């Protein structure tokens, strides 16, 4: 009787654990600051934030945590995305990108970041839908 109860308890515990681990990927939120003078990446999970802080403290000058580029408009003769230069700061649990030149009103900016991107989850591995390379989180912001 005890063995049956123990086996049932183990099965229930595993089922509850499996259901509590959701398969969703809580990606960090990428948005403009209130005055649109900087880009903020927030809601970074603790493990990713620790990696960002370690990389930032080790090599602050050549760190490429995010990439910001100006998307060409329909009327632009050049169809190349232009990289936006700027500085990165870590404030609490957020990452702040301050451009060297102010963002231009009416332009679209493509922000790409590998912060918090996961190679594969257990669900992806089981279903065989894991990707062979990392894809950055992309967000288009309109100023």
Residue 1 lies in a domain: no
Structurally, how many domains does the chain consist of? 1
Q: Domain of 111: which CATH number?
A: 2.60.40
pLDDT digits (tens, 9 = 90+) for 92-132: 888 999 999 999 888 899 999 888 776 666 666 667 666 66
Of residues 35 and 62, more confidence is placed in: 35
Residue 32 lies in a domain: yes
Residue 6 lies in a domain: no
pLDDT in the model for residue 142: 86
Range of the domain at 56: 25-142
18-43 as b/e, with b when 16 or more CB fall inside 10 Å? eeeeeeeeebbebebeeeeebbbbee
């Amino acid at each position: 009787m005890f063995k049956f109860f123990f086996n049932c308890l183990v099965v229930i515990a595993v089922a509850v654990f499996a259901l509590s681990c959701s398969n969703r990927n809580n990606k960090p939120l990428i948005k403009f600051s209130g005055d649109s003078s900087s880009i903020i990446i927030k809601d970074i999970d603790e493990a990713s934030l620790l990696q960002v802080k370690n990389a930032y403290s080790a090599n602050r000058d050549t760190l490429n945590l995010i990439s910001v580029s100006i998307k060409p408009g329909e009327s632009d003769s050049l169809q190349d995305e232009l990289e936006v230069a700027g500085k990165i700061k870590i404030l609490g649990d957020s990452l702040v990108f301050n451009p060297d030149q102010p963002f231009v009103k009416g332009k679209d900016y493509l922000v790409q970041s590998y912060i918090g991107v996961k190679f594969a989850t257990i669900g992806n591995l089981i279903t065989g839908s894991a990707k062979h390379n990392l894809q950055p989180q992309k967000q288009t912001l309109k100023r």
